Amino acid sequence: MAKALILSGRVQGVFCRKYCSNYAKNFGFKGSASNLSSGKVRVILESDDEQKINKYIQALKQNPYGFQFYGRIDDVSISDHTGSIRGDYLF
């Protein structure tokens, strides 16, 4: 089952979707990232490996590889995602 992550903070207009894509590819995830009208970003990952997803979230918060990102991620909520993987930015 896929997981949906909702990222809060300064996440729109700061290369967040590309940033999430870079880390997703690094972790071997396929999915998408989309800007939401609430000012948040939704990331959908084709995975149910919670340990790997938690490592991905830590990487997003800490940016150990120094990928380009001009914002900040204050909070990430996780939920199950059913349906197709679609969004603004596919990876």
pLDDT in tens, 15-72: 999 999 999 999 999 999 999 999 999 999 999 899 999 999 999 999 999 999 999 9
What 3-state class would DSSP assign to 19?
Answer: helix
Q: Kindly report the CATH number that applies to the domain delimited by 2-83.
A: 3.30.70.100
Task: Please say if the pLDDT value at position 82 is more than 90.
Answer: yes
- Please list, in sequence order, all residues whose beta carbon lies within 8 angstroms of the beta carbon of residue 56, skipping any fewer than 6 positions away: 23, 24, 27, 29, 45
**For the whole prediction, is pTM greater than 0.85?**
yes
| Domain ranges for the chain | 2-83
Neighbours of 36 (CB within 10 A): 14
